[in-house]
């Protein structure tokens, strides 16, 4: 499957999810058992937020074996997430990696409101903060909702940047057209996924080797 075909599968699945015409395909006993004997061959790796309102398999009307999921609060990328994505790309050969942010993200909202984080939650907010500061700088005097929406978008691009700069496997796979890396934002009110495409600076980073 090509990246284009995988992307189309996810886009079509989201359309069915939004207009309530789910196929619920690939959720039967037969498929579940076949994946044990045949192994998995997912069509995409989706790195999304842990938020319970963002269940990727439902959003994209996918079944068993379709999506290799990396879920972490704030859909941030650190070395462990990078390793999970590299496994999906290198070992499983997924043609598409999607960083999926979402509206009303609690991690982004907490970072915007400068909440005091407990324990290791601080590590997550620290990862989101650069996107918040960028959103505040670019939207001086804007209301909180505007800042949050802007920061959600920037945070998706930041995770794509972290994957591209942090992983030679990701860069090489993109460079040789083995895989495409796309950003997207899920609207938790409408159920619609907005596609952001590839990172605007991707070409420049691919030169890094």
Q: Which among 1, 13, 5 is positioned nearest to 186, based on CA atoms?
A: 13
Q: Which is nearer to Zn ion, 67 or 110 (CB)?
A: 110
Q: How far is the CB of 144 from Zn ion (least distance, A)?
A: 16
Contact present, 112 and 147 (Cβ < 8 Å): yes
Q: Does 162 bind Zn ion (CB under 5 A)?
A: no
Q: Which is nearer to Zn ion, 51 or 81 (CB)?
A: 51
Residue count, binding to Zn ion (CB under 5 A): 3
Q: How far is the CB of 184 from Zn ion (least distance, A)?
A: 13
> Angle at the Cα of 167 (from 38 to 7), degrees rounded to 5?
55
Residues 27-56 that bind Zn ion (CB under 5 A): 49, 51
Give the Cα separation of 51 and 106 in Å (integer): 8
Residues 69-88 that bind Zn ion (CB under 5 A): none
Residues 106-125 that bind Zn ion (CB under 5 A): none
Q: How far is the CB of 167 from Zn ion (least distance, A)?
A: 23
Q: Does 62 bind Zn ion (CB under 5 A)?
A: no
Q: Does 105 bind Zn ion (CB under 5 A)?
A: yes
Helical axes 121-138 vs 144-166, angle rounded to 10°: 110
Q: Which is nearer to Zn ion, 47 or 179 (CB)?
A: 47
What is the DSSP code string of 133-182?
Answer: HHHHHHSTT--HHHHHHHHHHHHHHHHHHHHHHH-HHHHHHHHTTS-EEE
Contact present, 77 and 163 (Cβ < 8 Å): yes
Q: Which stretch binds Zn ion (CB under 5 A): 25-33, 98-106, 117-125, 172-180?
A: 98-106
Q: Which residues of the chain form contacts with Zn ion (CB under 5 A)? A: 49, 51, 105
């Amino acid at each position: 499957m090509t990246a284009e075909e995988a992307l189309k599968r996810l886009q079509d699945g989201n359309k069915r999810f939004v207009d309530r015409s789910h196929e619920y395909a690939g959720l039967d006993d037969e498929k579940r058992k076949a994946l044990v004997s045949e192994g998995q061959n997912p069509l995409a790796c989706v790195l999304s937020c842990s938020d319970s309102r963002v269940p990727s398999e439902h959003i994209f009307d996918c079944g068993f074996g379709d999506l290799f999921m990396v879920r972490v609060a704030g859909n941030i990328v650190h070395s462990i997430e990078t390793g999970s994505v590299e496994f999906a790309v290198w070992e499983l050969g997924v043609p598409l990696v999607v960083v999926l942010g979402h509206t009303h993200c609690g991690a982004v909202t907490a970072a915007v409101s400068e909440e005091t984080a407990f324990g290791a939650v601080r590590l997550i907010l620290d990862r989101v903060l650069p996107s918040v500061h960028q959103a505040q700088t670019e939207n001086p005097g804007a209301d909180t909702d505007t800042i949050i929406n802007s920061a959600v978008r920037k945070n998706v691009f930041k995770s794509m940047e972290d994957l591209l700069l942090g992983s030679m496997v990701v860069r090489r796979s993109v460079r040789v057209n083995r895989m495409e890396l796309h950003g997207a934002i899920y609207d938790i009110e409408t159920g619609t996924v907005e596609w952001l495409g590839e990172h605007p600076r991707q070409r420049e980073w691919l030169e890094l080797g």
